């Protein structure tokens, strides 16, 4: 029997995680007193609502999200992130999500997280899931410090396809290299990549994605509730 070679892509926020790492990171920094609560909390929630509504200006959001990284040394940011993982992230890494990842890894599938959230926030999360590849928005660095600006195309909407294409090319692969290609996501913002793969899966989807999935006959599953 011929061995199969599959690609498994996972959105992170509200898909593998029962929450949003972007939002939680800002709330964590507010709780630490690193960001001013009055100035940042309402804006953080506003951007989150815009994302859910499909009206987010990704460049405006990245200016908000990445600026705090530029104000602190990397060692201090890394120390905060270790606490962030313990306090905010590990509690929302559900057993069902971890089991799904293990299933694909055990099958020998090429696995990657594909997320609009920046790689500083998401790199340790990908490692905690045991996922070897991360395709994320990349914060620019100069002289060992974050500049507060993104580098290259943000991994958002159609940008996710561009970034996955470039990553596959760097591995000497293309979409046609695989027998099956999976993408798991909760968000209608990910419809471009969901429509690209052979096996799209809506995970705890928003209302817009749920309606699309039901019309298209895509599977809908939960990784966040008691039943997966």
pLDDT band of residue 1 (cuts 50, 70, 90) is very low
* CATH architecture assignment, domain 6-221: 3-Layer(aba) Sandwich (3.40)
The answer to whether the CB of 117 falls within 8 A of the CB of 109 is: no
All structural domains of the chain with their residue ranges: 6-221
Span 142-167, average pLDDT: 95
What digits encode the pLDDT tens for the residues 75-132? 999 999 999 999 999 999 999 999 999 999 999 999 999 999 999 999 999 999 999 9
11 is catalytic: yes
CA angle (32, 37, 43) in 5-degree steps: 120
The answer to whether the CB of 67 falls within 8 A of the CB of 40 is: no
What digits encode the pLDDT tens for the residues 14-56? 999 999 999 999 999 999 999 999 888 899 889 989 998 999 9
The answer to whether the CB of 208 falls within 8 A of the CB of 193 is: no
Of 13, 186, 190, 206, catalytic: 13
> Nearest-CA neighbor of 120 among 72, 167, 81, 63?
81
**Which residue is it, tokens 């593998």?**
16
CA angle (62, 132, 51) in 5-degree steps: 25
| pTM of structure | 0.95
The answer to whether the CB of 20 falls within 8 A of the CB of 65 is: no
């Amino acid at each position: 029997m011929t061995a199969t070679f599959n690609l498994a892509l996972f959105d992170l926020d509200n898909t593998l995680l029962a929450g949003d790492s972007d939002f939680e990171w800002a709330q964590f920094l507010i709780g630490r007193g690193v960001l001013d609560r009055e100035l940042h909390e309402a804006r953080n929630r506003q951007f989150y609502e815009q994302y859910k509504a499909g009206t987010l200006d990704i460049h405006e959001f990245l200016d908000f999200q990445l600026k705090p990284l530029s104000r602190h040394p990397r060692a201090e940011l890394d120390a905060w992130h270790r606490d962030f993982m313990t306090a905010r992230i590990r509690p929302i890494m559900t057993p069902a999500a971890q089991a799904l990842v293990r299933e694909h890894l055990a099958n020998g599938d090429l696995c990657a997280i594909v997320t609009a959230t920046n790689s500083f926030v998401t790199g340790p999360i990908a490692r905690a899931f045991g996922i070897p590849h991360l395709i994320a928005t990349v914060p620019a660095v100069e002289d060992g410090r974050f500049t507060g600006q993104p580098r290259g195309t943000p991994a958002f909407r159609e940008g996710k396809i561009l970034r996955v294409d470039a990553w596959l090319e760097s591995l000497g692969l293309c979409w046609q290299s695989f027998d099956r290609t999976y993408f798991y996501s909760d968000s209608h913002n990910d419809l471009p990549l969901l429509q690209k793969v052979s096996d799209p899966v809506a995970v705890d989807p928003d209302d817009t994605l749920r309606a699309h999935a039901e019309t298209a006959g895509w599977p809908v599953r939960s990784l966040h509730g008691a039943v997966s």
